[in-house]
Chain A
Amino acid sequence: VHLVESGGGLVAPGGSLRLSCAASGFIFSDYSMVWVRQAPGKGLEWVASISSSRTYIFYADSVKGRFTISRDNADNSLYLQMNSLRAEDTSVYYCAREDVYFHFWSGYRHRSFDMWGQGTMVTVSS
């Protein structure tokens, strides 16, 4: 069971970058996925979520309108398109698998982020 991020690097302010997360060892299309980031020396910040069939997509206010989460279930891949990058977007970006469960009357609910990748570093600087 494995998640491997790629696509990080150095980009100028205002630039764009596309992160990828390759999944293996589980049925990717059965799971919601998320991106979580961590600025240097700081804590964890949830960035975006996408449900298994792309029905539900959510973004943190800090990235809404600039970042786009997507997935390709045929290719077992998760993506994060990052536009209009700012210095404050400098972080290690982790993809993680979200375990959800179905409650008989309250519907699909979060259970945990039960698997994490090793992260990819994004540096926004001139």
Chain B
Amino acid sequence: DIVMTQSPLFLPVTPGEPASISCRSSQSLLHSNGNNYLDWYLQKPGQSPQLLIYLGSTRASGVPDRFSASGSGTDFTLKISRVEAEDVGVYYCMQGLEALFTFGPGTKVDIK
């Protein structure tokens, strides 16, 4: 199975400041078709997870443009250009390359 890791696991943020989360996979998520099979999800407190990013860097419908993602192969990054209070929660990366999907451990983002 592909193992996903994230860092940091806890990220205190200041509203208006940028934030960045790293995700790494034990195997390359870059398929020979040119796509990276890496998703990002946000689980806000008391809510179900919601999709933020798919195929490595494509924002899902309705996701604010302060969220961006990049990376390829085994190293990926989610960035928030200016954190807002509503962005608090746990961010998960997930590999979609193999049918046995695996999530990262999650990064808890909270306001300082």
Interface residues in chain A, defined as those with a beta carbon under 8 Å from any beta carbon in chain B? 34, 36, 43-46, 49, 56, 58, 60-61, 94, 96, 99, 103, 105-106, 109-114, 116-119
Contacts and interface: CB of A to CB of B under 8 A. Distances in A.
| Interface SS majority for chain B | loop
B32 A110 contact: no
A119 to B, nearest CB: 6
Query: 3 closest Cβ contacts across the A-B interface?
Result: A110-B96, A112-B54, A46-B101
Interface of B: 1, 31-33, 35, 37, 39, 41, 43, 48-51, 54-55, 60, 90, 92, 94, 96-97, 99-106
Contacts of A112: 39, 51, 54-55, 60, 96
Nearest to B53: A112
A43 B37 CA distance: 20
B100 A43 contact: no
A113 B106 CA distance: 16
* Interface core residue of A49, A112, A116 (most chain B CB under 10 Å): A112
